[in-house]
Structure 1
Amino acid sequence: MIKSVSNAEHYTWGEACDGWHLVKSPTLSVIQERVPPGASEVRHYHTHAEQFFFVLSGTASLEVDGTVYELRPMHGFHVPAGVPHQMRNTHDTDVIFTVTSTPPSHGDRFGA
């Protein structure tokens, strides 16, 4: 089945952010997310899940273990399991990105 934000399971999180489950299986999660200007997620880590963030549009500030990386469109970053991280939008346009997690990160999120 072809998946997009028009037919994927939608949810909201954090400060008016959106997520769409493009793949949701016991071993793999692929989510497209939208973070509006000024919004962020809570700094956290996953004990089992490793993640790959890939920016489609906008510029994301991804803090990983104390270092901030500016991710522009078509840039990605791998975050290993156990590493604290936080996605932020410090710019004036929405950030649209995908986050791929294996295994899925839901239920494996802890404050850092």
Structure 2
Amino acid sequence: MKISKHSAEHYVWGDRCDGWQLVKNQDLSIIHERMPANTSEVRHYHQYARQFFFVLSGVATIEIEGKEMVLNPHEGVEVPPLVPHQMFNKSNHDVEFLVISQPTSKGDRVLAD
């Protein structure tokens, strides 16, 4: 079955951020997310999930183990399990990106210091 952010299950997270669950099963999760200007996720890690963040539009900043990296459109980065990370939108425009998690990150998140 064809899916898009217009037909996928939608949820709101953080401060006005959107998520659309494109693939949702125990082995794999693919989420299309949107972060408005000047928003951020909380710093955390996952016990089991390996994640790949891929920017579709806008410019994102991700902090991984204390080091910040800027991700432009069509750039991505992998985050292994147990590695603290945090996504930011430090720009004045929306950023949209995919978060691919294997296995699913649901119930796997631990807040980091």
> Residue 26 of structure 1: CA displacement?
1.3
What's the CA shift string for 1:60-104, capped at 9, x where partnerless?
A: 000000000000000000000000000000001000000000010
TM-score (norm 1): 0.99
| Corresponding residue for residue 59 of structure 1 | 59
| Corresponding residue for residue 81 of structure 2 | 81
SS for the counterpart of 1:82 is coil
For these two proteins, the number of residue pairs brought into alignment is 112
Please list every run of 5 or more consecutive structure 1 residues that lacks an aligned counterpart in the other structure: none
Tell me the percent identity.
Answer: 55
What's the CA shift string for 1:37-79, capped at 9, x where partnerless?
A: 0110000000100100000000000000000000000000000
Distance in 2, matches of 1:63 and 1:77, equals 11
Please list every run of 5 or more consecutive structure 2 residues that lacks an aligned counterpart in the other structure: none
* Structure 2 residue 33 is the aligned partner of structure 1 residue 33: yes
What's the CA shift string for 1:12-44, capped at 9, x where partnerless?
A: 000100000000011000000000001100000
| Corresponding residue for residue 23 of structure 1 | 23
Q: What value does the CA root-mean-square deviation take over the aligned residues?
A: 0.4
TM-score (norm 2): 0.98
| Corresponding residue for residue 9 of structure 1 | 9
What's the CA shift string for 1:1-21, capped at 9, x where partnerless?
A: 111011000000001000000
Aligned structure 1 segments of 4 or more residues deviating by more than 2 angstroms: none
